[in-house]
Amino acid sequence: MSKQNNTFERVLVGVDDSADAQLAFRYAMHRCIKDSSTLIITSILEDNEMNVYQALTRDYVHGERKELEEHLKEYRQVALDAGVKKVELMVAEGDPGETIVKDVIPASDADLLVIGSLSKKGIKKYFGSQAAYMAKYSPISIMIIR
């Protein structure tokens, strides 16, 4: 796969509803439109957000995952409406940084990872807090948006 003019064929973007992730999503979308690349949108269901009772309740995990999948479909529609030709979705579970680096990147065959730099304040820990980890261990090029 040649990288003429620094184009990437498969762009993976991590989304989590933080402001930085929204910027990353917009950047990835425009890049895919410009380069006629495939956009792969991923979000990670963090197991540490569940309490013991929820973790033991299969329906809870299934419900959370289904909700996340539905949410990613909204992102896909935005990307398609904006002019991205090919959009794929990937939901995984675990620690976001580690899961993206070890599981999502190899499974998606992406050649560029785009993420936001900051974590959203509040209860949930977002990708931004994982940006340094992903930058250090990502096997592919990474673009951190702020």
Residue 16: pLDDT over 80: yes
Residues 6+ positions from 87 with CB-CB distance below 8 Å: 38, 39, 40, 41, 76, 79, 80
Span 87-138, pLDDT tens digits: 999 999 888 889 999 999 999 999 999 998 875 544 445 555 688 889 999 9
Span 33-62, pLDDT tens digits: 999 999 999 998 876 656 666 656 666 667
Is 87 a member of any domain? yes
pTM: 0.85
CATH number at residue 118: 3.40.50.620
Three-state SS at 145 = strand
Range of the domain at 44: 10-145
What six digits make up the tokens of 86? 């090919």
Domain count along the chain: 1
Is 4 a member of any domain? no
